[in-house]
Chains A and B, each alone.
Chain A
Amino acid sequence: MELTFWTYEGPPHVGAIRIANAMRGVHLLLHSPQGDTYADLLFTMIERDRKRPPVTYTTFQARDLGSDTAELVTDTLKSTVERFRPSVLLVGDSCTAELIQDQPGTLATGAGLDVPIIPLEMLAYSRKENWGASETFYSLVRGLLNRRAPEPGWTRPPRPEGQRPKVNLLGASSLGFRCRDDVIEVRKLLESIGVEVGVVAPLGASPQDLLRLPEADANVCLYPEVAETTCAWLQRTFKQPTISTVPIGVGATGDFLQEVTETLGLTGCELTADAVCRLPWYSRSVDSTYLTGKRVFIFADATHALAAARMAREEMGFEVVGLGTYSREQARAVRKAAKDYGLEALITDNYLEVEKAVADLQPELVLGTQMERHIAKKLGIGCAVISTPAHVQDYPARYSPQMGFEGANVIFDTWVHPLVMGLEEHLLTMFREDFEFNDDKVPSHLAAVGGSSHRPAEAPAADGDAAIRWEADAEKELKKIPFFVRGKARRNTEKYATERGVAAINVETLYEAKAHFSR
């Protein structure tokens, strides 16, 4: 058993629903107990879909367990196919159904239904939502295209002269982070360099569209969490190269265009679009100088965490003090990136561990998920959401991609917003006793948040430091340090004192430590 206050991912069958709901003509039959239909509201409320997700649940109850739950599956299969007439029927178990082992996939295959059946293995007790989405997408693509696979040893003929290069965009799904607008932005980007977009899947695709996947010259793996397995299979089977740079950030978008150009053998492509991206100039303008070295903690799915770390360091001038992910499947890439930043990656799906890391590091900004918003609020640190799990406010009405050049514009605004603005930061440091603008108040440009005392008590001293005593004047001096770096100053001073065996910290120790750790 694992004690879980908040979970970063749902169970794998929620991933399966994300694929079915993203597509057209696909229906999912889920063998599950009464109550599991809660998942519908993720789509109808958080994503604000106009239609019910294409899912039929068997919703068995205790009284059904006494009789034949397999018969319930068979009856539901028939009525579902009759009512919804899908092009493809996915059939899977939720966690409870996995325990009673009715094998609904096998039942469906043997039920003589005149619709293609794709059975799903969901492994609810060892895997999670993104894996479920990836596995469902892969099963669907493989199930539909397996029979069309060319002989081993087949090589893809070169693109005919004069034919425009074409790529598929894979990975965008329901409930993905800003998928709706990312697809628009990436399509725009590709078209600007003369590359056609073939199939976008799973978002908006039908099973018939999936049959056209092999026609493209390459696959763009936009969201590795969902599409990496599928891209690898298409590469092996249909010899379609995978374009794997995720275009989040100015640098990454440049690299992405470079990879597209090289993969497709394009020449003479103008990698323009600098004109539409304001991030580089905004970030260079003097108003952004105070952002230099802001200490930022990043925790998200692997794709967004990696992209954010690069942007934070190279495009915003922040210092990345913590980097982690809950995507174990992509842990290796995050570990490697963290090492490049001189950090140890935090690979966990335990909310309490993330909370502890943030409290220990005392960053000035947290870039994370909905869960890190809880942590940041508790610790009184500015926060921006960069990845799922996300709530309704992160499925906005306005155009808000993360990818491409407009995505970089959106990200600049989003990340800077929670920080205290430059002038206010200076004034807070110079005049500490203002009755309106002080540490206890939220930054005044966020006044709508309430404006009243909001910042909680400072994080307590680290474990084992109980022996260290702060003299009153040193404590008072510490209070003069602006709140967003105060936690760090306290920790550094205590560390300095511990290392030197100083039992009581005075004003001198505080400034000695400051000089020692000055960056």
Chain B
Amino acid sequence: MSNAVLASDRPGSAPIIQERGQRAVFCGLTSIIWLHRKIQDAFFLVVGSRTCAHLIQSAAGVMIFAEPRFATAVLQDRDLAGLADANEELDRVAAQVIARRPEIKTIFLVSSCPSEVIKLDLANAAQRLGQKYDGRIRFVDYSGSGIETTFTQGEDSCLESLAAQLPTDDSGKPALMVAGSLPDIVEDQFARLFEQLGIGPVHFFPARSSNEMPPIGPQTRLLLAQPFLGNTTRALGKRGATLLPAPYPYGAEGTTAWLRAAADAFGVAPEHFDQVTAAPKARAMRALEAPRERLAGKRITFLPDSQMELPLARFLHRECGMALGEVGTPFFDQQTMAAELPLLPEGVRITEGQDLDPQLDRVRAARPDLTVCGMGIANPLESEGLRTKWSIELVFTPVHGYDQAGDLAGLFTRPLLRQDMLEV
């Protein structure tokens, strides 16, 4: 509830405002919903309460009818009474999971608010279980708790843990690592572009299966595909990787700058770069023409959710002509936003953290044409006559790269288009 001002390294632009108070965001456990599909031979075992189980189930919604590769070990009264048998309990539950899903290669032990408050040592448990199953099944622990992580930070926390276990690349040859889970189709598009540029080898992190996790070493050049990987970046840095600063690959401009960062690091000739990127870039710009017509001049506000807010605001402003209202982010990381910040217009209000009710008051006062917000807020704002774009969809839809630029803009035009269509 206190407003502090962060020293900003953007001369001449508004400071980044920090807010504290009620936060309407998901916890990091939510990231299991996409991670369990990305890493196909992994199982995510949350150690937590009924609330945790209910959260994942509610957030996953109708999406999951098939047998999920995640579950919760729900703490009972007797687990809280004495921690003595916590390890035995965990062993028993892990054995149950393995019996039901014998094909699983990695089990993530995911800690939650309750397990962290009672200081259940999952790191120790992961090590012990790892020895017990003797290399057949790998155990990795990380935190998805609400007290530690917000929404997409769950992936950051997961990849940070995995980073420590990646094999060492001692080939002495440069390699590119693209970090952040991407939809398979986008990953394949990027792989093709890197190949045409002559950049290689390229590794995607996380990989689609446990035994394909990429090697890492001092020659690794790191390109972030997702803006929420601050801790992963630092963990990979400790393993020797060098971060290539770049804006995130949203839109034609973002994708080009992102690819160029890799191209420069790998000494790709500028002419060759232009030659490879010209056609897909032109396609992206063409795909953006129609949505730009609908979006130009419209005002948009972001409530904090995924840390994708800054790069998305940049894309919507620069490539779709939208006017930016407040841009909220749950967490502002200087390092990962270094290349984005200068691309944002001067004077835009960036808010780190949240005090929900006053923030909603600001939205009501400004009445933007579009508000990007969570599902707990979207319908209430709609009923007040404000158009919204529910933010979680931005994480679940292929939006990166040239060939998704039109789709990405389309996610924002749809609510406005619908407003124009409905006669009732």
What is the interface of chain A, defined by CB distance below 8 A to chain B?
Answer: 1-7, 9-11, 13-14, 33-42, 44-45, 48-53, 56-62, 64-65, 75-76, 79, 83, 94-96, 99-100, 124-126, 128, 373-374, 377-378, 391-392
- Contacts A41-B58, A41-B59, A65-B147 known; 8 new A-B pairs at CB < 8 A: A1-B90, A6-B57, A11-B51, A37-B24, A42-B58, A44-B380, A96-B114, A377-B65
Say whether chain B's binding surface is mostly helix, strand, loop, or mixed: helix
B104 CB-CB contact with A under 8 Å: no
B380's nearest neighbour on chain A, judged by CB, is A52
Q: Ordered nearest first, which 7 A-B pairs have the shortest CB separation?
A: A35-B27, A35-B146, A40-B376, A50-B383, A96-B113, A95-B49, A34-B146
A7 & B54 in contact (Cβ 8 Å cutoff): yes
Please give, as numbers and ranges, the residues of chain B lying within 8 Å of A10 by CB-CB distance: 50-51, 54, 58
Please give, as numbers and ranges, the residues of chain A lying within 8 Å of B116 by CB-CB distance: 62
A11 & B50 in contact (Cβ 8 Å cutoff): yes
Q: How far is the CA of A391 from the CA of B65 in the complex (A)?
A: 12
B76 & A44 in contact (Cβ 8 Å cutoff): no
Q: Type the 1/0 row for B93-110, where 1 means its CB is closer than 8 Å to any CB of A.
A: 100110000000000000
A1 & B147 in contact (Cβ 8 Å cutoff): no
**Residues of B within 8 Å of A, CB-based: how many?**
60
A34's nearest neighbour on chain B, judged by CB, is B146
Q: How far is the CA of A42 from the CA of B55 in the complex (A)?
A: 10
Q: Type the 1/0 row for B43-60, where 1 means its CB is closer than 8 Å to any CB of A.
A: 000010111011101110
Q: What's the nearest-Cβ distance from chain B to residue A157, in Å?
A: 46
B90 & A75 in contact (Cβ 8 Å cutoff): no
- CB contact list, B33-74 vs A, under 8 A: 47, 49-51, 53-55, 57-59, 61-62, 65, 67-68, 71-74
Most buried by A among B30, B92, B96, B380: B380
20 A–B contacts from the bound complex (CB under 8 Å): A1-B89, A4-B53, A4-B71, A33-B27, A35-B25, A35-B27, A38-B376, A41-B374, A44-B376, A44-B378, A52-B376, A52-B380, A60-B147, A61-B148, A62-B148, A65-B117, A79-B1, A125-B76, A125-B77, A378-B67
A61 & B22 in contact (Cβ 8 Å cutoff): no
B234 CB-CB contact with A under 8 Å: no
Q: What's the nearest-Cβ distance from chain B to residue A337, in Å?
A: 27
A13's nearest neighbour on chain B, judged by CB, is B51
Please give, as numbers and ranges, the residues of chain B lying within 8 Å of A377 by CB-CB distance: 65
B22 & A56 in contact (Cβ 8 Å cutoff): yes
Please give, as numbers and ranges, the residues of chain A lying within 8 Å of B75 by CB-CB distance: 1, 125
B50 & A62 in contact (Cβ 8 Å cutoff): no
B93 & A51 in contact (Cβ 8 Å cutoff): no
A391 & B379 in contact (Cβ 8 Å cutoff): no
Q: What's the nearest-Cβ distance from chain B to residue A24, in Å?
A: 16
Q: Type the 1/0 row for B133-152, where 1 means its CB is closer than 8 Å to any CB of A.
A: 00000000000011110100
Q: What's the nearest-Cβ distance from chain A to residue B377, in Å?
A: 7
Q: How far is the CA of A103 from the CA of B375 in the complex (A)?
A: 30
B80 CB-CB contact with A under 8 Å: yes
B61's nearest neighbour on chain A, judged by CB, is A391
B250 CB-CB contact with A under 8 Å: no
B47's nearest neighbour on chain A, judged by CB, is A1
Q: How far is the CA of A449 from the CA of B378 in the complex (A)?
A: 30
B26 CB-CB contact with A under 8 Å: yes
B377's nearest neighbour on chain A, judged by CB, is A52
B323 CB-CB contact with A under 8 Å: no
Q: How far is the CA of A35 from the CA of B79 in the complex (A)?
A: 23
Please give, as numbers and ranges, the residues of chain B lying within 8 Å of A94 by CB-CB distance: 51
A83's nearest neighbour on chain B, judged by CB, is B357
B73 & A96 in contact (Cβ 8 Å cutoff): no
Q: What's the nearest-Cβ distance from chain B to residue A28, in Å?
A: 13
A95 & B50 in contact (Cβ 8 Å cutoff): yes
B22 & A59 in contact (Cβ 8 Å cutoff): yes
B49 & A11 in contact (Cβ 8 Å cutoff): yes
